[in-house]
Structure 1
Amino acid sequence: MLTSDEIERRMPVWTALADLFLDAELDKADYRRIAGSVRTSGYDLAVVECILRDEVLPAFAFNLLEIAGEWAGWHEDDVRTIMTGAIARRPGIGTRIKKALLWRDIERKWRKIADIALSAE
């Protein structure tokens, strides 16, 4: 379980990465904005990838699987509620299957973000 300090440190990263799960196509500016949040987080890229794969993906996968998911963006309060709820639950088999199915697409987006973050260092 994460401490309240760890949750606060992750919030900007969670909020930025949650945009990968919007029901909308991201443009170059979106990728640069997300990469900027990753860069300023102080986390190593490998850690952020784990946060994306193990925390954000299971929490936000539902939005990519719904017929009319969120497309306009996530409010920080919504991200906090979704993430803390997901962390408190143990992932079931359905969550693990969704995570495996969606990782390929999300990983492609993550590679773009990581490349941008690395090129700005």
Structure 2
Amino acid sequence: MGVLVFEPMVLWLCFFTTSVYWQQPDLYGGKQAIGRQHWAKWVITYISRDKNMNPVDANRLKTWQALSSLFLDTEIDELTYEYIARVVLETGYSPSEMHSILWNEVFPVLEANLRSVAGEWAGWTDEWLLEHLIASDGLEPRKGRGSVAGEITRCWSQVVTRLPPGYD
């Protein structure tokens, strides 16, 4: 049986009137709110995971690598869209699973990069992705809000044109 270690600088509970939100670290060590319906799953997964033994499978990591390309501070070209579409097909995730991975796992952590003045442009290592992203099996896909979410939606629509029907 493993020991659960609570990390107060990473995870903290905020009470705003009657709303409860858990905070997770964003790309630069700041905090980012997770909606009420997702906080319990995120907290249980985060606190109980063994940092030496990440249960993420190779397909999930490959998907994170591909989708993280949408969040780089670079111009996204046709080859990038084709690469992402190829990975989506190779990994075999359903359209709803892919939406969940994009909006529940990748977007909340990496979207800050697109708001940064000097964001990451070279990409993230596998180790970084495994440490910061958390698989969210079973959560309903949710879309982010704001201009970054709009840009990711636009980029995803470019990927979708290279996929079979149903991924939009």
- Specify the TM-score bucket, using the shorter chain as the normaliser: 0.7 to 0.9
Aligned residues: 107
| Percent of paired sites with the same residue | 32
In structure 2, the residue matched to 1:13 is: 63
- Higher normalized helix content (fraction of residues): 1
In structure 1, the residue matched to 2:88 is: 38
Structure index of larger Rg: 2
- Does residue 113 in structure 1 map to residue 142 in structure 2? no
Supply the RMSD in Å over aligned alpha carbons: 2.4
- Does residue 83 in structure 1 map to residue 128 in structure 2? no
Which stretch of structure 1 is more off in the superposition, 23-32 or 72-81?
A: 72-81
Contact 1:53 1:103 in 2 (8 A): no
Task: Please give the TM-score of this superposition, normalised by the length of structure 2.
Answer: 0.57
After TM superposition, which residue ranges in structure 1, 4 or more long, deviate above 4 angstroms?
Answer: 2-5
The gaps in structure 1 that reach 5 residues or longer are: 88-98
What's the secondary structure of 2:68's corresponding residue?
helix
The gaps in structure 2 that reach 5 residues or longer are: 1-44, 137-143
**Counterparts of 1:115 and 1:46, CA distance in 2:** 16
Task: Please give the TM-score of this superposition, normalised by the length of structure 1.
Answer: 0.77
Letter aligned with residue 19 of structure 1: S
Letter aligned with residue 58 of structure 1: P
